[in-house]
Amino acid sequence: MKPLFKISLSIALIGFVAFQGCKPKGIQASAGGDASKAYVAPGKYDEFYDFVSGGFSGQMSVYGLPSGRLLRVIPVFSVDPEKGYGYSEETKPMLNTSHGFVPWDDLHHIALSETDGIQDGRWVFGNGNNTPRIARIDLKTFRTAEIIEIPNSAGNHSSPFITENSEYVIAGTRFSIPMDNTNGDVAINTYKQNFKGTVSFISIDKTSGRLGIAFQILTPGINFDLARAGKGKSHGWMFFSCYNSEKANTLLEVNASQKDKDFIMAVNWKKAEEYVKAGKAQKRPVAYAHNIYDENKHMATSEIEKEVLVLDPKDCPDMIYFMPCPKSPHGCDTDPTGEYIVGSGKLAAVIPVFSFTKIQKAIADKNYEGEYDGIPVLKYEAVLHGEVQKPGLGPLHTEFDANGNAYTSFFISSEIVKWRISDLKVLDRVPTYYSVGHLSVPGGPTRKPWGKYVIAYNKITKDRYLPTGPELAQSAQIYDISGDKMKLILDFPTIGEPHYAEAIPADILIKNSQKIYKIEDNQNPWVAKGDKYARVERKGNEVHVYITAIRSHFNPDNIEGVKLGDIVYFHVTNLEQDWDIPHGFAVKGANNAELLIMPGETQTLAWKPDRTGVFPIYCTDFCSALHQEMQGYIRVSVAGSNVPISFSMGKTQTTDSTAVNK
């Protein structure tokens, strides 16, 4: 098998290289779809919100479908000067980790919360790949509400995947590593002895959404790539794709592609819950950050948590099984009925489809082909529903419609292939421009796909848009899937590198969308709930400026008495109570971004002046006809100055106009 495979891989790669090298003829002609299907008239709403991961931008973006209009970029793991996220004192703790402040991450996957296997529109989750984290975004405010770090993990790629009643978001580690509570200072080539993997089950509080690491399962030292929860009949199970069953620690490109089959790991998490209840989990000392944004205080707090429960499969029989899966599986997707699990070997020539019923039978019959690190390996043929033959090259991800069809992306052959789950027949194929990674059908990973479109998220765009220097935009392409044949109707560039996306009917979110923060509910410790609270206070070398903002002035707007060596905290409260009236706040020379303060909210900017003088402050968001007049001054005097703290708005100064610092 090995030499044969090598040949087919090199043919695939030659094909890929050739494909990269010259543009197939006639592409521009074939790319013209029925654009009217993507047309949303000015002033009309889109039918779906589409939440798209930003990859190495660390953010999540929100588009309208089918128009492809960009509605919002939600800052998640990366600082965002546009919104002051990660720059204001209130939001800095959101990016705290056990390594300190980490202002960036690599966000690959989206998971919308579900009730009974249907999207409920409460939260959207995203993973941080680099410094393992999961974020929860509140869909009332489209803001990051919580970030939890994951211990015993390195490269949180197989994440976050949600169960059908949002019991858990689940995260598998991409890299195996020495566990956090062991001495990690070991030779890298002791991989096989010292490196382990984990998968983490992070519980979601039903009302508040608050996250907590319920337990982790220790696994052999392999790499987890993706995952999906079971649903319907397979609810209570979780399926993870894994590669590097060879346990290579170097040149994985070759060394982790040796075996014909890697695995899909099936975890019976209901059983795992029983083991935790029965006290089978070990408490392990770890350190991970847990950051929560309090909506009433408009402020995040970060705590370092110290312990995690770990289940070792050695002590927990019947909890995990391996299923052989051809050649370095990437995507692992469960169909809407929960009966079928689709594996996608990046280097495989077929798509294997597993049957949950057969998996249960093989487990009951102990139909094993052996063991891997003491964990039973089920017989491939015994658990297989069948293989899709000759589907394309480099299958990555599969989504579903409500009519029993599957849509698989093919990176190497740059196409989407539609096939029928029941008889595994290929029904249609369309090219993508180019090299599609994930694809997404609205509701596609749930029990209730909404269908209508499949959206391809492409890694390479080459000649699709005007050239923009060495780097070109990644792109999304929308295909109409309402008929038998897929039809390209629109393509649009994306922010960062889009990996996965999930779309949800707009109606589900619109009704909950928050318009303002009520000023009377503002519990920020530095709030100024009206003009009479506007003031400046000195505390040692800290100067606290309590500023209110309302169209079109700041109160106070003239501030004096700051001395070199002071640190100034501008606590700005936006007194507006109208929808869509944020004010911004910036001061010259701050080593910081602006603040962008929503109606009813308080945010704080820290500024350490580096020279004496008079510095402008101003509103950055065009809020009114007199936005440009929304400005003021702050005076900074020498260190030993006796200029007293003073502040005002609207008063004509009575001091001697020639007064300068002595």
Contacts with ligand CUA by CB under 6 A lie at 583, 619, 621-623, 627, 630
Judged by beta carbon distances under 5 to 8 A according to partner kind, the member of ligand CUA, ligand RUQ, none in contact with residue 437 is ligand RUQ
Nearest CB to ligand RUQ, comparing residues 122 and 397: 397
560 sits in the region (left: phi over 0; alpha: psi -120 to 50; else beta) called beta
Q: Of 356 and 554, which has the nearer Cβ to ligand CUA?
A: 554
Cβ(139)–Cβ(509) below 8 Å: yes
Q: Which is nearer to ligand RUQ, 16 or 368 (CB)?
A: 16
The listed partner (ligand RUQ, ligand CUA, none) that binds 338, CB under 5 to 8 Å by sort, is none
Q: How far is the CB of 632 from ligand CUA (least distance, A)?
A: 12
439 or 528: CB nearest ligand RUQ: 439
Nearest of 662, 568, 551, 552 to residue 615 by alpha carbon: 568
CB of 129 to ligand RUQ, least distance (A): 7
Which is nearer to ligand RUQ, 236 or 392 (by Cβ)?
392
623 binds, among ligand CUA, ligand RUQ, none (CB under 5 to 8 A by kind): ligand CUA
Phi–psi pair at 94, nearest 5 degrees: -60, -25
Q: Given the complex with ligand CUA, which of 464 and 583 has the nearer CB atom?
A: 583
- Minimum Å distance from CB 635 to ligand RUQ? 51
Which residue, 453 or 500, is less far from ligand RUQ as judged by CB?
Answer: 500
Q: Is the dihedral of CA 622, 509, 122, 517 positive or negative?
A: positive
Alpha helix (H) ranges present in 478-602?
506-510
> Residue 52's CB: how many other CB atoms inside 10 A?
28
State the DSSP code for 470.
B
The rounded distance, in Å, linking the Cα atoms of 381 and 403 is: 26
Q: Tell me the two tokens of residue 157.
A: 């790629």
Residues of this chain that interact with ligand RUQ (CB under 6 A) are 108-109, 157, 226, 330, 396-397, 437-438, 499-500
User: Taking CB positions, which residue lies at the least distance from ligand RUQ?
Assistant: 437
- Among ligand RUQ, ligand CUA, none, residue 396 binds (CB under 5-8 Å by kind): ligand RUQ
Q: CB-wise, 612 or 624, nearer to ligand CUA? A: 624
How far is the C-alpha of 616 from the C-alpha of 633, rounded, in Å?
A: 5
217 binding partner (options ligand RUQ, ligand CUA, none; Cβ < 5 to 8 Å by kind): none
Cis ω for the linkage preceding 431 (within 30 of 0): no
From the list ligand CUA, ligand RUQ, none, partner contacted by residue 621 (C-beta under 5 to 8 A by kind): ligand CUA
Q: Which does 630 bind (CB under 5 to 8 A by kind): ligand CUA, ligand RUQ, none?
A: ligand CUA
Contacts of 207-212 spanning 24+ positions with Cβ under 8 A: 209/113, 209/122, 209/123, 209/136, 209/138, 209/145, 209/146, 210/146, 210/292, 211/134, 211/136, 211/146, 211/148, 211/169, 211/290, 212/148
Task: Give 67's contacts (C-beta < 8 A, 6+ positions apart).
Answer: 38, 39, 40, 46, 490
In the complex, minimum distance from the CB of residue 265 to ligand RUQ, in angstroms, rounded to a whole number: 17
Shortest reach from residue 575's CB to ligand CUA, in Å: 11
* Shortest Cβ 576–ligand CUA spacing (Å): 9
What, of ligand RUQ, ligand CUA, none, does residue 619 touch, CB below 5 to 8 Å by kind?
Answer: ligand CUA
